[in-house]
Homo-oligomer: A and B are copies of this chain.
């Protein structure tokens, strides 16, 4: 009988220890610690400006932290260029604004990194890209340019692009908040499928339906601190912290 092993048994993928970050005099992350095991799905939420993006950008060092340690698979993230490139290849990232390369076709977007950074052959890279485009349900868009696609299609292409590097962790930074409402679902569906396949994921999102359904752990941030960290049932039904309660009330009230 094969059941998923208990979370505690799985190896640790990511670890943040007492991370601080300042932008000028602005203290954006305050003593943030977090541990994510293989296969975990973490949803990160909190008000605008609370430091969610900064936090997940510290993981692949698009932002460099001032203090504390960030470890990916046990390797400390630092400015060492070679190490950094290796870590980044294992950590996929999906942005709110898609950030597809508009001058390349969807297929070229997907094969660029595998051919250059993974030294994959052109044929292999294209085959891999096509299979992943299939997985996000847009195989027929491979030869179009990003601006020719709808927002939802672009975001799914961006997910495929990240998956082409065969990452071990995926970071999502509000992947659906720039989308028209009818397209939100198609992207969330792809993310749900990815979660079901066992991908380790950290996801900044305000789609609480998705959080309820997919997350193992919901993390709530405010003013640079992790205020609450709980499994979704507990988080939504019995938030311990007053700030969490307020936040949930605000974003759920108009649904």
Residues of A within 8 A of B (CB): 47-48, 150-151, 177, 180-185, 188, 206-207, 209-210, 247, 250-251, 253-255
Contact = CB atoms under 8 A, between A and B. Distances in A.
Contacts of A253: 185
Given A182-B247, A247-B182, A207 B254 contact: yes
**A contacts with B: majority SS:** helix
A251 B47 CA distance: 23
Nearest to A206: B181
Given A185-B253, A210-B254, 14 more contacts: A47-B180, A47-B182, A48-B150, A48-B183, A181-B250, A181-B251, A182-B251, A184-B254, A185-B251, A185-B254, A188-B254, A207-B254, A209-B254, A255-B255
Nearest to A176: B254
Nearest to A186: B250
Contacts of A206: 180-181
Copies of the chain in the assembly: 2
B207 A250 contact: no
B209 A255 contact: yes
Nearest to A182: B250
A195 B183 CA distance: 29
10 contacts: A47-B180, A48-B182, A181-B251, A182-B247, A182-B250, A184-B251, A185-B250, A188-B254, A207-B254, A255-B255
Contacts of A209: 254-255
Nearest to A46: B182
Interface centre among A48, A151, A188, A209 (most CB of B within 10 A): A48
Nearest to A213: B254
A173 to B, nearest CB: 13
